[in-house]
């Protein structure tokens, strides 16, 4: 114990201990700063990763929105093309066939323009979704998604309703064409032959 007391009382030993404590505190300070810097970098990287994940989720929702709009446009394009083809068939038919079809041409005068207008509305919605940016806010994207979901249901119902009109028109057009061709054949059979006219 005397040795310890002598060492403590000695000024040289006390100076070495003080210097050691000072160096240890400096090392601790440097280590603490380095740890704080590493922690700050880890926090910043974590925030960046979190932001990337959020952006990825938002882009996924935007992709789903655009995919829904494309599906809807595809359905409308198919319906529009079908109606245009049917209209071309109708217009290339004889006057008798067109007369037989009567007021069924509302399919082309009323329904076809409605399909075209609806298609233009969907294309505008597509532009709004395609040009959407995070700065517009996620809530706006969610509103667009909800509106798209409702619009897709409406489009499917609209196409189902028009499908029966198109099918009915096609059947009636075929019947009218067959009736017209049958009437023309019957008229051709009833015409007197030149030889018969000479006998009369």
The answer, yes or no, to whether residue 190 has pLDDT greater than 80, is no
SS3 track for 7-46: HHHCHHHHHHHHHHHHHHHHHHHHHHHHHHHHHHHHHHHH
pLDDT digits (tens, 9 = 90+) for 6-43: 766 677 777 887 888 899 999 999 999 999 999 999 99
86-103 average pLDDT score: 86
Residues whose CB is less than 8 angstroms from the CB of residue 163 and which lie 6 or more positions away in sequence, other chains included:
79
The answer, yes or no, to whether residue 58 has pLDDT greater than 70, is yes
pLDDT digits (tens, 9 = 90+) for 101-138: 877 888 888 888 988 888 888 888 778 777 777 777 77
Contact yes or no for 68/152 (Cβ under 8 A)? yes
What does the alpha-carbon distance between residue 161 and residue 183 come to, in Å, rounded to a whole number?
33
178-185 average pLDDT score: 72
The answer, yes or no, to whether residue 195 has pLDDT greater than 50, is no
The answer, yes or no, to whether residue 196 has pLDDT greater than 50, is no
């Amino acid at each position: 114990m005397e040795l310890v007391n002598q060492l403590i009382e000695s000024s040289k030993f006390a100076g070495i201990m003080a210097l050691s404590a000072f160096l240890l505190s400096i090392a601790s300070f440097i280590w603490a700063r380095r740890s704080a810097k590493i922690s700050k970098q880890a926090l910043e990287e974590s925030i960046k990763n979190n932001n990337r994940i959020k952006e990825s989720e938002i882009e996924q929702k935007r992709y789903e929105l655009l995919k829904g709009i494309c599906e809807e446009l595809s359905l409308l394009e198919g319906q529009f093309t079908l109606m245009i083809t049917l209209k071309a068939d109708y217009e290339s038919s004889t006057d008798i066939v067109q007369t037989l079809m009567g007021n069924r041409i509302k399919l082309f005068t009323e329904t076809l323009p409605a399909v075209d207008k609806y298609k233009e509305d969907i294309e505008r919605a597509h532009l709004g979704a395609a040009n959407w940016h995070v700065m517009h806010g996620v809530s706006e994207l969610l509103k667009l998604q909800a509106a798209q979901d409702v619009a897709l249901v409406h489009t499917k119902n609209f196409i189902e309703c028009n499908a029966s009109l198109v099918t009915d028109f096609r059947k009636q057009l075929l019947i009218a064409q067959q009736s017209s061709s049958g009437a023309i054949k019957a008229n051709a059979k009833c015409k007197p032959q030149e030889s018969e006219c000479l006998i009369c």
